[in-house]
Amino acid sequence: MVKVEDIQQCAAGLLEKGQVKSVLGFRRGTAGAMAEPCTITEAAEAGTLVWDPTCLNNLALYLVKDRKQQAASKTPDIRPIGIVAKGCDSRAVAVLLQENYFKREEVFVIGVSCEGTGVIDPKKVATLLKGRSPSRVEFDGADGFKLTLRGGEMQVPAREILADRCLECRAASPALNDVVFGEPSGERGYATPFHAAKEALGASETERWAAWEHHFDRCLRCFACRSVCPMCYCPECVVDSTSFVIEPQTSAEEKANRIKWCERSPNTSESAVYHLTRAIHLAGRCVDCGECERVCPVNIPLRLLNTMLEMEAFEMFHYQAGHDLSQASLLSSFRDEDPNSFIR
Amino acid sequence: MTKKRTGVFVCHCGNNIAATVDVKRLAEEMTDEETVVYSQDYVYMCSDPGQNSVIQAIKDNQLDSVVVSCCSPNLHEKTFRDNAERAGISGFTCEIANIREQCAWVHKNREEATEKAIKISRSAIRRVAHNKALDPIAVPVTRRVMVIGGGIAGIQAALDVANAGLEVILVEKLATIGGHMLQLSETFPTLDCSQCILSPKMVEVSRHPNIKLMTYSEVQDVSGSVGNFRVKVLQKPTYVDPEACKLCDDCVQVCPVVVPNEHDLGLTARRAIHIPFAQAIPASYTLDVDACLGLNPIRCGKCKDVCEAGAINYDMQPRTVFEEVGAIIVATGFDLYGQENLGEYGAGKVEDVLDGLQFERLCSASGATKGHVLRPSDHKVPKEVVFIQCVGSRDPAQHCAYCSKICCMYTAKHARLYKHHVPDGRAYVFYIDIRSGGKGYEEFVQRTMEDDETIYLRGRVSKLHRTRDGKVRVLGTDTLTGQNVEIDADMVVLALAMQPSKGTEQAAKVLKIGRDKDGFLAEAHPKLKPVESVTAGIYLAGAAQGPKDIPETVSQASAAACKVLALLSQDTLSHAPTVAKVRESHCTGCEMCVDACPYQAIRLLNGKAVVNEVLCEGCGTCAGTCVRAAIDVKNVTQLQIHAMISAIMGG
């Protein structure tokens, strides 16, 4: 069982000694039981940090945001940042390090193992409670949650309300860390890895296409999935003509010749191009934090798209994004024993 | 940007294109494109009048860019780019629309093929509208050559290049040069002694002032590109100093380890310390470390004790050498298809069933039996010998699909050699058909049949097995008489298929050159570039490129040498300027392109990717890997690809 005091003490210590300029963590939110991301810069604030099954967000995103801010700043502050990281968050940090987005010494990973459980899926909780919302969600033993409701408490087996990604999680404790709290834990046996993707593959091609057509048709192109993804840090998104980078040295010809690989209008085919391109750009980089799917306002099962590619990467090339900092990235590496029957 | 003035030139390619594509309509419709100011069609655009008409049109219409709708750019891109230069515009503003291989040849429906040709040509026009007039990059040349493989192909190529005054490094994996040719007894169609014609060449190699011989060595890595390769060679230790060795053979006399002799294909034995054969070049002994009791004076050390010259040194270490060369000739040769693959012929386990090379060693004066044909099991003279052709060849279902080309000839030679050694013996040859194309080859086979009374049976052998009375029973059919044939032979010789040598795969990988479906090294073009590999500056010679006999191998080796000499006769090489270019504003320094680049042409400088234009081959792997679209290949930019796709989609 992870004690929140440990995390608080660690954060306070880091700030006190000036080892980090800030610590990214979670604090109690203002609405309901859910925790929210926060940045603390003073040791005195460490007491506000929380750790419970509602700490959903992938905080690696805020490392990226800080990096962008510092790059644009006239007086960049490149002191290290501390980050409270679950298994998936630490994998995201590992991929960012692999891609040289920042240096190892610029981040201090306060690893937290999810041990036997993980984080909740608020939608599953809402379904379970038939619309009522809990005022508190806590870990309860090795594989259960305790929900506090008006009029009492209830114990729920973790399996029932765990987020899908946690059910399939293969590495619940952060492999990349500077300090780690909680017992190490790998696969927990809730569901086999890539269970959902494999199940989806059971349907015929026509059925699958019809399903995805339906999903892409709903897409609003609000780009929430892109905004929340720590891997979507490109200065210019190749599938979105609204984010062209214009610098002082950008010539008129370059401005005129910008390529619109997909149109802005959210129709089915353009949205399909957007999502499929994003999925392919995440191949070998997606750490399955499930944030894209969580934030989608129209419930597109984006995790399915991404885990499908993760599955291919794992089954064909034994590659797992963010598991090994020293390995070359999937898309840029070649080994003689890679299956290449299609090349000859 | 001022509007481009593009000319479109549609080639009929005789009837190759015109039969399937309506070339007149194609030329006419192209004038609808905004940038096209001129278009024409012609029966052979690559011919002299065709090329001249392009020059004339460029001059008359002040064209600044050209699209030629014709065959593959592999064939004539250079032709038309050079032609554009002659007309005074940059060759890099000329693009090819491939409407032959990618259209006319693969379609039948004229209407549809024409539509497709229009789309292909239109996309090339849109592409060329963004082409820049680039200047070639001049690269200095290293005027040295590496030849990999010391068989007859490598020897011939090395001598030809060295005789022209260039320095050659000849790398051979084994302890001596000579290759398979050295194992042969006589050669067809003249029956001259193989050693007698090869040994002088080997000596010439060892004495040539321009040739640096590196035996017992392997190429481990190659970097750089045409004109400037850097090759990493590992020299394995022989544990014998060739300078000091007096060839007295004392060490062999005391060596307690006996292993099969590879040079005689296991028909004789050798010691752990050995000289492959008396005429080996370099003339020195080699200590086979795998067989040796262990390089340790406490365990054995007999050879070192007995060596009066003090030539044996157990402490010799492998040496890694880096060589800078301008061109490489690959002549890694062949191996026989393994007998173990042939269950129907005993999988190599039936006694007195030999492969062709073993039979050569039996016939050879320096071989196991000092030139007497004796069967290995009981050293008796075999009175009935069956030769089987096409073993493993021409059998797409189970073995190699291709014809190994030389087996018809060497089986005929074997039959004759046998009859010359054993005049009262009887030779049978099972064949599918006889392929004896070549000067004097057919006459040679006829003489085998008529003068030497060899019995040719057209049919395959289904099975063979050893009988109790020590013979090999061969069960086959004679398809001419329609009868089953059963022969109790004293010895059987299999004409096994030729396959690329075991080292060829590794060599291809290291050199980054392609192989064909059978594993032979792939030539750049089967007709027009038969000795060039797909990588510039790397040339092919001998059986590593495909089954061939000695005359052909020697011709190809000389051809490769000639290509190398032409390449290195220039002071500088012109490197294509269509290289990768980084968009710094988009590069995040993730290093993926650095890892992906097969030419090590990209590195990271201040957090951004930087391309070494001399090393870059413009393959576009980096552009394909970069998820940020931060790297582009000049004249194949993403803008151009987008324009081409739009054109094809009808936009």
Q: Which one, of B248, B255, B178, lies nearest residue B215 by Cα?
A: B178
Residue A337 lies in a domain: no
Do A22 and A164 lie in one domain? The reply is yes
Each residue's pLDDT tens digit, B414-442: 999 998 888 898 999 999 999 988 899 99
Each residue's pLDDT tens digit, B3-28: 889 999 999 999 999 999 999 999 99
Residue A247 pLDDT class (50, 70, 90 cuts): confident
Q: Is the peptide bond before B189 cis (omega within 30 degrees of 0)?
A: yes
> Which residue among B130, B589, B592 places its CB closest to the CB of A332?
B592
The Cβ of residue B562 has, within 10 Å, a number of other Cβ atoms equal to 16
DSSP code at position A241: G
Q: What is the pLDDT of residue B288?
A: 85
Residue A340 lies in a domain: no
Q: What letter represents residue A30's amino acid?
A: T
Preferred mutation among B510, B585, B594, B625 to probe A, highest tally of A CBs within 10 A = B585
Question: Does B638 lie at the interface with A, CB-CB under 8 angstroms?
Answer: yes
CA–CA separation, B234 vs B216, rounded Å? 9
Reduced to 3 states (helix: H, G, I; strand: E, B; else coil), residue B298 is coil
In chain B, whose CA is at the least distance from the CA of A285? B627
Do A52 and A187 lie in one domain? The reply is yes
Dihedral class, residue B178 (left if φ above 0, else alpha if ψ from -120 to 50, else beta): left
Q: Where are the CATH 3.40.50 domain residues in chain B? A: 6-136
> Which residue among A250, A253, A261 places its CB closest to the CB of B642?
A261
Dihedral class, residue A223 (left if φ above 0, else alpha if ψ from -120 to 50, else beta): left
Preferred mutation among A100, A103, A237, A240 to probe B, highest tally of B CBs within 10 A = A100
Domain B338-499 carries which CATH code? 3.50.50.60
In chain B, whose CA is at the least distance from the CA of A331? B625
Average pLDDT, chain B: 90
Q: Which one, of A332, A231, A236, A271, lies nearest residue B638 by Cα?
A: A236
Q: What is the pLDDT of residue B586?
A: 87
Mind telling me how many Å the CA of A50 is from chain B's nearest CA?
34
The Cβ of residue A19 has, within 10 Å, a number of other Cβ atoms equal to 14
Residue A342 lies in a domain: no
> Which residue among B625, B628, B642 places its CB closest to the CB of A234?
B628
The yes-or-no verdict on residue B1 having pLDDT over 60 is no
Residue A204 lies in a domain: yes
Q: Which one, of B265, B259, B310, lies nearest residue B288 by Cα?
A: B259
Q: Tokens for B476?
A: 């086959």
Do A110 and A244 lie in one domain? The reply is no
Residue A232 lies in a domain: yes
* Residue owning tokens 């392109």: B593
The yes-or-no verdict on residue A344 having pLDDT over 60 is no
Do A104 and A208 lie in one domain? The reply is no
Q: Average the pLDDT over each of A257-266, B411-420, B623-632, B641-650 and give the range with the smallest value.
A: A257-266
Q: What is the mean pLDDT of residues A263-272?
A: 87
In chain B, whose CA is at the least distance from the CA of A250? B585
Q: What is the mean pLDDT of residues A307-326?
A: 89
Residues of A whose CB is below 8 A from B588: 99-101, 233-235
Q: Which domain holds residue A179?
A: 1-191
Do A153 and A213 lie in one domain? The reply is no
- SS3 per-residue string spanning B133-165: CCCCEEEECCCEEEEECCCHHHHHHHHHHHHCC
Each residue's pLDDT tens digit, B361-409: 888 888 878 878 888 888 888 889 999 999 988 988 888 899 999 999 9
Do A127 and A199 lie in one domain? The reply is no
Instruction: Collect all residues with Cβ–Cβ distance below 8 Å to A45 and sequence separation of at least 6.
Output: none
Residue A342 pLDDT class (50, 70, 90 cuts): low
Mind telling me how many Å the CA of A232 is from chain B's nearest CA?
10
Answer for the pair B622, B631: CB distance below 8 angstroms, yes or no. yes
Do A17 and A149 lie in one domain? The reply is yes
Q: What is the pLDDT of residue B126?
A: 93
CA–CA separation, B292 vs A323, rounded Å? 45
Structural fold of domain B579-633: Alpha-Beta Plaits (3.30.70)
Q: What is the pLDDT of residue A242?
A: 67
Q: Tokens for B228?
A: 């400037």
**Yes or no, beta carbons of B639 and A259 under 8 Å apart:** yes
Question: Does B517 lie at the interface with A, CB-CB under 8 angstroms?
Answer: yes
Do A93 and A204 lie in one domain? The reply is no
Answer for the pair B492, B354: CB distance below 8 angstroms, yes or no. yes
**Yes or no, beta carbons of B639 and A336 under 8 Å apart:** no
Domain-ending residue, one of A158, A191, A224:
A191
In chain B, whose CA is at the least distance from the CA of A279? B627
Q: What is the pLDDT of residue A238?
A: 78
Q: What is the mean pLDDT of residues B34-52?
A: 93
Do A61 and A200 lie in one domain? The reply is no
* Residue owning tokens 């000579």: B178
Residues of B whose CB is below 8 A from A249: 585
**Domain B6-136 coded CATH 1.10.260:** no
Residues of A whose CB is below 8 A from B589: 100
Domain-ending residue, one of A153, A176, A191:
A191
Q: How many domains does chain A have?
A: 2
The yes-or-no verdict on residue A218 having pLDDT over 50 is yes
Interface of A with B (CB under 8 A): 98-101, 233-236, 238, 245, 247, 249-250, 253, 257, 259, 261, 281, 328-329, 331-334, 336, 344
Instruction: Work out whether the CA dihedral B388, B391, B397, B402 comes out positive or negative.
Output: negative
The yes-or-no verdict on residue A295 having pLDDT over 80 is yes
* Beta-strand runs (E) in chain A: 22-28, 35-40, 81-85, 107-112, 136-139, 144-149, 152-157, 179-181
Residue A304 lies in a domain: yes
Do A170 and A235 lie in one domain? The reply is no
Each residue's pLDDT tens digit, B125-152: 999 999 999 988 888 899 999 999 999 9
Residue A49 lies in a domain: yes
Cβ–Cβ pairs < 8 A, chains A and B: 62
Q: Where are the CATH 3.50.50.60 domain residues in chain B? A: 144-235+321-333+501-568, 338-499
Q: What is the pLDDT of residue B204?
A: 92
Q: Where are the CATH 3.30.70.20 domain residues in chain B? A: 579-633
Each residue's pLDDT tens digit, B541-576: 999 999 999 999 999 999 999 999 999 998 888 888
In chain A, whose CA is at the least distance from the CA of B604? A100
Residue A341 lies in a domain: no
Residues of A whose CB is below 8 A from B1: 253
What top-level class would CATH report for the domain B144-235+321-333+501-568? alpha beta
Each residue's pLDDT tens digit, B291-329: 888 777 677 888 888 888 888 888 888 999 999 999 999
Mind telling me how many Å the CA of A259 is from chain B's nearest CA?
6
Domain-ending residue, one of A139, A168, A191:
A191
